[in-house]
Structure 1
Amino acid sequence: MLDFLAAGGASAGQGIIGFIPIIGMIAIFWFLIIRPQMKRQKEHAAKISSVKKNDQVVTSGGIVGKVVRVDDDYVDVEIAQGVKVKVVKATIGDIVPPGGKPAND
């Protein structure tokens, strides 16, 4: 009877040890993929919230223009002289620094 109890305890210990590689893979996945993506999302959200009038922006669709007006959810962008479009803030891909060239030029 004691042999049966000893064998049962050994198999339970090996089952727990079998989960260690799975936990390790989850940790690697977290640090290599999920965590950097969350960091990029936070940086992008901070960049979008700091958009102000006269900033030059590039949308996710590749439209380059100057910000004319900023609302809570929308931005009016002048893409040519006298041509203004309303853009959803979340679709702004990048803010071009003053005097800099946009990424697609």
Structure 2
Amino acid sequence: MEGLGQWGGTIIYLAVFFGIIYFLMIRPQQKQQKQRMEMLNSVKVNDRIVTIGGMHGRITKIKDDVITVRIADKVEVEMEKQAIGRVISNKDS
């Protein structure tokens, strides 16, 4: 046990360091990922969205992980659900 003398303190500092890294970096990232998944799972037809590419549109169809978005009159595009950047409104208007 006496051989740990110098290394014991170093191990404690490393454990504290990794604990701080976990709570400052990894934990918030997991929380953001959970919120994003909840947002993607809650979208529905007629929601107004902005894609990660910056296009604005309204969801017209949802099929599994593919959505159809109307970006202009008579112009609809299919894209992955993961391409949704944010939901602008959940109202039918």
TM-score (norm 2): 0.90
- Partner SS state of residue 53, structure 2: coil
Which residue of structure 2 lines up, in the alignment, with residue 20 of structure 1?
A: 12
In structure 2, C-alpha distance between the alignment counterparts of 1:15 and 1:24, rounded to whole Å: 14
Are 1:33 and 2:29 matched, yes or no?
no
Q: Aligned Cα RMSD in Å?
A: 1.3
In structure 2, C-alpha distance between the alignment counterparts of 1:47 and 1:60, rounded to whole Å: 14
Which residue of structure 1 lines up, in the alignment, with residue 51 of structure 2?
A: 59
Q: Which amino acid aligns with 1:89?
A: K
Cα shift readout 1:12-68 (whole Å, capped 9, x = no counterpart): 233122111111111111101110010000000010011100000111111110000
Q: Which amino acid aligns with 2:4?
A: A
Structure 2: segments with no counterpart, 5+ residues: none
Number of residue pairs the alignment of both structures matches? 91
- Partner SS state of residue 65, structure 1: strand
Structure with more strand by fraction: 2
Are 1:97 and 2:89 matched, yes or no?
yes
- Partner SS state of residue 24, structure 1: helix
- TM superposition outliers: structure 1 runs of 4+ over 4 Å: none
Structure 1: segments with no counterpart, 5+ residues: 1-8, 100-105
Q: Which amino acid aligns with 1:11?
A: G
In structure 1, C-alpha distance between the alignment counterparts of 2:82 and 2:74, rounded to whole Å: 24
Which fold has the larger relative contact order, with Cα–Cα distance below 8 Å and residues 6 or more apart in sequence?
2
